[in-house]
Amino acid sequence: MTATSAPPVTSTTQRPARNARAGRWGWLPSLGMASPPAVLVLIFVGVPIVIGVLYTLGYTGGLNSVASTLAVQTYPAVGAGPTLAAYSVVFADATFRANLIVTVWVTVVTVLVVTVIAWAVALYTRLAGGWLGRFISGVAIIPLFIPIVIGAYAIRQFYGSTGFPVSLGRLMGIDVPVWTLHTQGIVVGQIWASLPFAVLLISSGLAAVPDSLIDAARDTGASLARAVWSVMLPMATVPTVIVATFTGVGVMGSFTVPYLIGPASPNMLGVALQQTYASFARPQNAQVMAVVMFAMAGLIGAAYVWANARQAKQSAVI
Amino acid sequence: MASMDLMAPPGANTGLALAEPVPVRPSRVKARIGRVIAGILGVLLLIFILGPLVWMGIAAFAKQWKYPSMLPQSWTLSFWSQVFSSQGLLPALGLSVRFAVLATLASCVICLPAAYAMGRMRFPGRKVILIGLFATNAFPKMGLFVSIATLFYWMNLMNTQLGVVIVQALGTVVTMTWIPAAAFASVPPSLIEAARDAGAGRLRVFFSITFRLALPGIMVAVVLAFLACFDEAQGTYLIGAPNYITLPTKMYALAVNAPIQSAAVFAIVLCIPSIILMLLVRKSVMGGQLAEGFQLK
């Protein structure tokens, strides 16, 4: 049934060594079974990224040739050496730099706010429980049920110039700012969309903290805040890092929310990428922006892998 | 209720030392204050999450809604019939369903055997594959799609149905592998051994024990994958538009151009499959199947 009713028996140790039955090469069938998704990812994620990076360095031939013929302009490498011409063109563009700043700003703010709200919701549900706790965490999960295009559209209207906060403010004689078509609106949309995943993961992390540990801390005189800080926080670090990384990467590469809620310019890189690629027909420039995104996401991804490695080490100890 | 098992495991002292029968007075008062604050924050969260949806829901029935009024002055159902009879809705719906079904099926065929292998067997390279799949999520989506588009131009997949199906299926690989793998892994080996000892055959054990116990996790993955495909807009837009316009990509145009009422009606229609399917697997999702899948083991 649910993961809680049967304690997660991901028993690395007690898994039967049945694969050994066929002798030395007995693991080959398992590897064969496991490889199709890896091959798919290799072809449609690995290859595009490698040729994409080569493309930004001026290698416009080969797999990049068709896209290049459709481009209004490319910056090909002369001879064998790579060129950074495409990068310098893109970075010289003030709009791109503004978009980059917006992207980083929205990503950082969203990750911080989502993590804090998700922790508050999960913590209240874990400690106080009751119908109120169930209600709050139930509400926080709702966006999971709504397609992101719809959520973004609803938020666009809600915070628009005739939306609820502005109307309410008008009725009460207060000037409420319009958030739609502003960066604030993007952040609101990103938080809305990212919250369910964060609440689910952190809740499950906190559920895994044994009551006995919290009780022991309380019995020895620790305040509730102290028990949360010294017992629950360390034990839920890994889910928190997972939430932060997934949210960060997701927000950074998003298109729908900034496209529907954000301003024409400056907007997030996701929107700029789409326009540069499809509307302005400059695939190489778009690819440069994509590589910039990859580099930023690479830092985040490293944190994720580190967190998982740490968890693996922990569970090996326990 | 049951859905919240996760947050309050059976036998858990949910009240902690704070509430419940603890007789100490001051903490009683504190608990009450805490509950009031939590209530207020809960209402704010409710407005934040549901407000936009309710506002849009009202707009779908509005004939005339003048700013800054809180409700429309007059109501109508005409936009509903208008949207349903409009050209483009049915073809877009048909395309959406076709792409989502094909992509989900492809993802099942490719990923479920792999999930079984990774959940229940040990072999060299297991961890590498498990983490390697994360590549689909590690790269910011729009950057990845743009890179894929360049390859697709070369492969003649740009603006084709196959191209859209590939992009949608790609987005489900992690869900379809990690979550079922965790589900397969959590089937107690003792049960399987007991069945084997009792003389059950390999297939019999698989179908009546392993598969059955892992089924909730698999269902969660399938539903999430289907919805991810059905609702996928950005990749479908970049690869499929303008030849293949699905419901979500149609929403991009409606959001900007259409009268607020038609867009609202359209949006509500588009929500229905998501809500129905998610309600079906709600318990398992809340019960930790999703969270479980995202912690590699």
Domains of chain B and any CATH numbers: 87-292 (1.10.3720.10)
- Report helix, strand or coil for B15: coil
Distance separating alpha carbons of residues B232 and B169, to the nearest angstrom: 10
| pLDDT tens-digit readout, A39-74 | 999 999 999 999 999 999 988 888 888 888 888 888
Searching chain B, which residue's CA lies closest to the CA of residue A276? B146
| pLDDT tens-digit readout, A182-220 | 999 999 999 999 999 999 889 888 888 888 888 888 888
User: Is residue B24 within 8 angstroms of chain A, CB to CB?
Assistant: no
pTM: 0.84
pLDDT of residue A313: 65
pLDDT of residue B1: 32
Mean pLDDT computed over A228-235: 83
Q: Does B254 score more than 60 pLDDT?
A: yes
Q: Which of B7, B111, B151 lies at the smallest CB-CB distance from A51?
A: B151
Answer for the pair B144, A49: CB distance below 8 angstroms, yes or no. yes
Tell me which chain B residues have a C-beta less than 8 angstroms from the C-beta of A46. 135
How is residue B112 written in tokens? 């479920």
User: Is residue B135 within 8 angstroms of chain A, CB to CB?
Assistant: yes
Residue B293 — very low, low, confident or very high, per pLDDT cuts 50/70/90? Answer: low
Q: Does B192 score more than 80 pLDDT?
A: yes
How is residue A136 written in tokens? 């709050």
Residue B207 — very low, low, confident or very high, per pLDDT cuts 50/70/90? Answer: confident
Alpha helices by DSSP H, B134-246: 135-138, 141-154, 161-170, 173-185, 189-197, 202-205, 211-231, 234-240
Contact B149 A67 (CB under 8 A): yes
Looking up tokens 């890179």 gives B147
The long-range contacts involving B200-207, CB below 8 angstroms and separated by at least 24 positions, are none
pLDDT of residue A137: 86
Distance separating alpha carbons of residues A243 and B44, to the nearest angstrom: 22
Tell me which chain B residues have a C-beta less than 8 angstroms from the C-beta of A65. 154
Mean pLDDT computed over B146-165: 92
Looking up tokens 């690989």 gives B173
| pLDDT tens-digit readout, A82-134 | 889 999 999 999 999 999 999 999 999 999 999 999 999 998 888 887 888 88
What ipTM was estimated for this complex?
0.84
Q: Does A311 score more than 90 pLDDT?
A: no
| pLDDT tens-digit readout, A241-252 | 889 988 999 999
Q: Which helix (H) or strand (E) holds B62?
A: strand B62-64
The mean pLDDT of chain B is 83
pLDDT of residue B14: 37
| pLDDT tens-digit readout, B98-110 | 999 999 999 999 9
pLDDT of residue B17: 37
Q: Does A312 score more than 80 pLDDT?
A: no
pLDDT of residue A12: 43
Distance separating alpha carbons of residues A247 and A114, to the nearest angstrom: 8
- Specify the DSSP class assigned to residue A77: P
- Report helix, strand or coil for A84: coil
Contact B5 A4 (CB under 8 A): yes
Chain A interface, best mutation among B112, B136, B232, B234, by max A CB count within 10 A: B234
| pLDDT tens-digit readout, A132-178 | 888 888 889 889 888 899 999 999 999 998 899 999 999 999 999 99
Q: Does A15 score more than 50 pLDDT?
A: no
Chain-centre distance for alpha carbon B205: 30
- The count of other CB atoms within 10 Å of the CB of residue B153 is 21
Cis peptide before B242 (omega within 30 of 0): yes
Chain-centre distance for alpha carbon B104: 13
Contact A44 B170 (CB under 8 A): yes
Q: Which of A16, A34, A48 lies at the smallest CB-CB distance from B114?
A: A34
Contact B116 A33 (CB under 8 A): yes
Q: Does A16 score more than 50 pLDDT?
A: no
Half-sphere exposure of B56 (CA within 13 A, CB side): 29
Contact B291 A52 (CB under 8 A): no
pLDDT of residue A267: 92
pLDDT of residue A314: 61
Q: Which of B118, B137, B252 lies at the smallest CB-CB distance from A249?
A: B137
Distance separating alpha carbons of residues B94 and B294, to the nearest angstrom: 32
Q: Which helix (H) or strand (E) holds B56?
A: helix B25-59
Q: Does B241 score more than 70 pLDDT?
A: yes
Searching chain A, which residue's CA lies closest to the CA of residue B237? A274
Distance separating alpha carbons of residues A262 and A267, to the nearest angstrom: 6
Q: DSSP letters along B236-297, please?
A: HHHHHTTT---HHHHHHHHHHHS-HHHHHHHHHHHHHHHHHHHHHHHHHHHTTHHHHHTS--
- Burial class for B181, CB neighbours closer than 10 Å (0-12, 13-18, 19+): buried
Mean pLDDT computed over B221-240: 91
Answer for the pair B31, B14: CB distance below 8 angstroms, yes or no. no
